[in-house]
Structure 1
Amino acid sequence: MQNDRLSDTNSCIPTSLSFVYMPLHLSLSPMAVYAALLSLARSLHQILHFEKYKEKNVSLHEKVHFILTFLEDYSDKYSGAIALLGDEIRRAAYEAQDFMESYLCSISANYSSSEKMALDQDLNIAVERIHFIWEEVVKMKNRDAADQDLRSRTHSSPVDDHSSTVPKKMVVGFDDELDAIKEQLYEGPTKLQIIPIVGMGGIGKTTLARKAYEDSLLAQHFDVCAWVTVSSEYQRRGILLQLLLSFEKLSTHHDELSRASDAQLAKLVYQNLVGRRYLIVIDDIWSTKAWDDLKLNFPNDGSTSRILLTTRLSDIAIHAAGSSCTWFHQMNVLNEDQSWKLLKERIFGQESCPLQLMEIGKKIARNCRGLPLTIVVVAGLLLSSGNLTKEETWENISENISSKEPTIELQCSKILCLSYDQLPLRLKPCFLYIAAFPEDSQIDVSKLIKLWVAEGFLKPSDHSKCLEDVGESYLEDLVNRSLLLVSQKGPDGKLEIVGIHDMLRDICIKKADEERFLSLVSSKWNAIKEFLENRNRRLRIHCKHDFQEWMIPVSSIRSVLLFSDRYYTTRLFIYCRRLSILDAPEATWPNFSDIISTFVNLRYIAFRLDETSCPHGFPASISRLPNLETIIAHIFNIRRLRIPCEILEMPKLRHLITNAPVRLSFASNRSPVVLHQSDLQTLETVVNYRFTEEAIKLVVNLKKLKVVFATPKGGWDDLNLDNLFRLQNLQELQVSVSSNPSMTWNHAFPASLVKLTLNGIPLPWERMDIIGSLPNLQVLEVIDTPGADASEWTPVEGQFLRLKYFFSTLDYLVKWEVEKEHFPSLESLILKHALWIDEIPCGVGEMDSLQLIELQNCTESLVNSAKEIEQQHHENGNDSFQVRVVKVLF
């Protein structure tokens, strides 16, 4: 029926849309229905501008959003009715979505008139079903409006209102244990000591180890400090790489290390530890085999080194410590007083608990059975309730966690399930998406939010708020509820890396499976059969072996997330052309350049750009994908790569990211043509971007730019750097110079900047007023400033008014005169290889806002001056002030 050209894309049009669905289940939860409608709304948005179906699709769009709003507001009250309609709603949503995607596929292929007629029939069926569901929902809402009592119905307010009152994470009941661990770390025999911490999941082993690891004396006492997480999915090679990449001098050698053999990696670990006093934290070790595989890499040469390990199994701790074990810490659950103290401090901080809540609060704490994880999760539930001091709120939670389960584990599981059940509907798909990430993953926040956007999970609260901002607020909400862990914050205080506790991850995976939200695959055996039988829209693949090939046939799958360690060889073959999301940055995809343009529904792609996948460089055909919003290219062994400027003209592109510098190729005989308001928000990393009038128009809405400058053929004037200040939406800018420039930087920066990083920029310290005048700047990093002569710098009062974080190497700066008024908001001063000055200026120590001075590879005199400042702060009662020293140069 179809010609050869259509054989690849014909999968976009099933003869009968109904065959792709599972048999009807009795019911589906509001979350499953909500997620399906969100995806439909996302697809509808893609084709609203097509005139042929515009009127019909606008009507459909309005009805879908009406149903979504109803679910958000009334899913608790009408959960039974929604459950009965659930399969019908999801089926209708998927049918409509399939039509939208099929229509987009038809644009890129010569479909016959009969096929186009079938598309119209499918759309009519989908519209009728959505209309029927809309009518039922309208009836439910009208009945509700008629009930006077429900007019006063209140809903949970967003947790954002309480986020400022959430106290810092505390270690309650562990003070004595923490002191004992520190004693073992800093004192005792010179031989290598193994320090085990043992306890059940959720009891606080990792928290306790982390508190010890973050002690301010640690970096001064040990030459090398490293933290590795083992987990139940242990892989020796991965642990060795974790260790090596945590060593400072090897941290930038990822590609070289990934090509080394296991034996070479093991040898490198040993060589970097021998003769040095080291501390290694091995978190969450599950087997004696894992310890036996690793122990030979740790030299025992009398250097007073220590290994701190956490495990749930006492047998492993005894085996690891062996006959040299002089200290063994078995963690116990908190007693009732400690439990109540932790709950109270998590909710009220240093304020007192209202008297009317004391009794019920102690009951809640008691029912948590002394497990810290359950206590902080329950605290998150109360904080997000929207009415923290209302007794009824506390009573409801107390009833839901009544201690009837026979074991602590079952009670904890019940509480964690409750934390999911109590989530607002808008947050549930976002939380379940975490199940896609492997165990103990360090989840990049920027990537996660981009995936949420592409999935359609985010709804702007108003027309002026962009989806990425909504994603940040959703993420903060999940963190404030203690469902996600903060692993790393940026210098501006924004979340950068998050994780999830193993027990919460188990709940997440369980719920994702129950809701038919996500399929998890980790074995290549019978994979094709699994994919064909799979009726979920999202697929997570975890490659655990080398030389795996994954063939994903035509199926209902719309999102594929493939996780593979960089040192594993993985090949990917995909035939379902209606794919919307593909995250496979480590997998090779043969013939990628030839076929990628047929995936017209793609909104997000992260791919490996190598000679196998893209033998002719960056595939220009990507620019023909009409719905693509995010492009993340991981470049391997390709130098001087050029990207055609047409990429920047894509109608919906929001993020273009490469892990290595690339050049934008502007044809000599044409200028960029801007036919629409650019949505591009992120552009990194580009070489010698020329800020001409036309080029500025292409990136006028940029929020983040990372650019590298090398000496251009036409000289520095050829780059039009005077136009840089015109990017008035730019918030983050990183500028690097890769060659020794002959010019002096004398160009203004955009006033909108919040974060600025300058690496190798020839900006004299005397001209720092160019930066100091930026009104919104909070984070400044000035690294490897070239110069020929010693310089002096006296900041201008009235500048740097909002600067909170300053990181610099202070190259060629021999005199730095600072008064407390010069940096009125400074909180963190980080100096690295600051060899030109002998001491921290006294004015720095007088700054009321300053909380941290960190010195990396600095001289002893500079360290001593910082210690004097620390002593002054502590004598004045500012115990939170800290000086952190990482290696002293004598």
Structure 2
Amino acid sequence: MAAENVGGAFLGAVFGEVLKVVTDAIRKAYKFKSELEELKSTLESITPTLQEIEKLNGVLDILGRETAKLRKEMIKGAKLVRKSSKVKRFCFFNRVNYAEKIIKLKKSIERFCNVNLQTQMARDNKRIEIDGPCSVPDSLASTPGLDVPMKELRTELLKDDGMQVIVVSALGGAGKTTLIKKLCADDQVKDKFQENIFFVTVSKTPDVMVIVKRILQHKKKEVLAFQTEEAAINDLERLLKSIGQAILLVLDDVCNPARWETVLFYEDLAKKILRVCKGSPLALRVVGRLLCGEPAAVWQNTVKEWDQGKSIFISGTELLVCLQSSLDALDEEVKECYLDLGSFPEDQRIPITSLIDMWMELYECVEDGLSAITKLHKLSNRNLVNLFIIRKNASDDGYYNDHFVMQHDLLRKLIIYQSMSGPLERTKRLIIDISGNKFPKWWSEKKTNPIHARLLSISTDETFSSCWYELNAPEVEVVVLNLRTTEYTLPNFMENMGKLKVLIVTNHGFLPAELSNFSILGSHSISNLKRIRLEHVSIPSFGVQMSNLQKISLVMCNVGKAFKNSNFQILDAFPNLLEFEIDDCNDLEELPVGLCDIVSLKKLSITNCHKLSTLPEGISKLVNLEELRLASCTELSELPEMVTELSNLKLLDISVCLSISELPTQVGKLSSLETLCMIGCSSCKLPQSLIELQKLNLVKCDEETASQWEPYKTFIKKLKVEVLKEDINLNWPRKLSSLTSELSFSSCKTINNH
């Protein structure tokens, strides 16, 4: 069966059938005319939402799973309307009964669209950033100061004079990207270019072959390995000719304009200086004073040194002193935590959960997530970081998976400069950025003694081949690996890190990275490893034993193959696991065999995993489990009755588990339960045994669900029912600093955003 018949088109067919049945019933003047007219109005009003959901389903190739429950409601609705038309006029009670059912159906559809689908659309928008490699990011609702340049830019773009290139340039933070996103969302622009708007963020070392691969992937074309840039360009040319319509290609964050011939020599150097200074007025003033009046050779040599990795801070004492003063004003504990943020790449959101994992092992001052959040708020208040929260209500129970932080690029450069300014052997943090396969000279030539850093961060780009040099760093406790390739090999030198406690591997590319050499983590020499976080990688097999591992987090990973491996026994691999998190892993259909045998487990979080339909009956064996989170597992059909045997369970979250129709009959046996989250679960029936939950003090839910809890307040004296509205920040990774400078653009001959 074709995908479209399973997914969006099937929903459209069901929707059309219900609307037709209702319209016919009204036209034939059947009973319940007013109720049916209201139902018809509701069905017509949700059309835009359904169209958007189907669009997202098509982009993500999830075949309509998100709308499974809505389809069921529609099918039931069609049957209900047909039955109601057969009710006799004199059957008063039947008429009242059917009228109430039609009204209930209308409210159910409205509630589902206003709460559940909006939540899922927000999550899908988040995932499109990875799965749709050239999708246009969401634009801000309010963009003060951009109306005039927006109008001028739109006029220039819509000129019907053949191919053109428009360059948008301004200082960093001036709002260039915000302006371009606003342009791409403009109705006139979308009307002209339709589905042929490609938004590509260019890396520090732009690779034409990588850019072409992204465009082909976006158009769902076969992507072959290009041998040369010319072959890639030829393939792109064939694609563009086959489209046969106007095309808008946006190149955002173009860092190295030298790939295009420029007319003015100084203009080229000026753009490079702007890039190095990251738009900072202070940095520009210092560099301007340094180079003012100097001959062209000095300008060239200075920029060449920066390109080769020499720090901008060496050139200007004023810049270093000024930025350093911002760090020196911090107390020592907060300062140390802040310097660790340099472990993550430029312009990328940093998951707060990653920072918590790092800091809990590096510093005794950070004992839990709340302590880490407090420190980040202090940094935010000093404008050293920007905090982003997808759901504002998501943090008050100690769950921070929806929290992220970003830092200014220039401050990251300061962190790296500080880390590398002293003797390499004595640095606390070793932060390395590798372009292509160009390793730092000291590393490739092995010109160093053992390094005593406690934190090692290595960032590589799309062209890195995973060919590693040896590195002697026996004191490392935290390793952060940032990658962009589709294949990645864990470095062998980690085997010599006997004090390693935390490993964080994050793929920032648009396809999952196939992770190999995973077996190295089972080496006896690194038996102190306690925490692992893997994001957007594909794990063919775990096949290792990590006896001291306490927490493993898998985010947007392909795990199905590893978990189904008959040789994999999770109890053997992680016998002392305390926390297990799986988020947004779309190929997870069932939990790994033996998971319920890990009796040490205290926290189990399986969220946004839409293929997971059942929990194992053996879950009752997790006698020490204190938190069970199952939020947004939309196909999870039920909570097995055995869940009620978890006598130490304090928190249960089944929010947006749309297929769960009732709580277990004996849920009252959860004698330790303190918090129950069930947002979007208004169709879930509440059993009588809930009155036995005398320790339950907080229920988080939506307004519809809250009404069902009113009778239980009489029996559970301390119960507080908190009604929450989903407050989702769709612009979570994209909010930049305030617009401080004017934008300018010049028409040349795609849009390049420097």
TM-score (norm 1): 0.43
Compare relative contact order (CA 8 Å, sep 6+) and give the higher one, 1 or 2.
2
Q: Normalised by the size of structure 2, how large is the TM-score?
A: 0.49
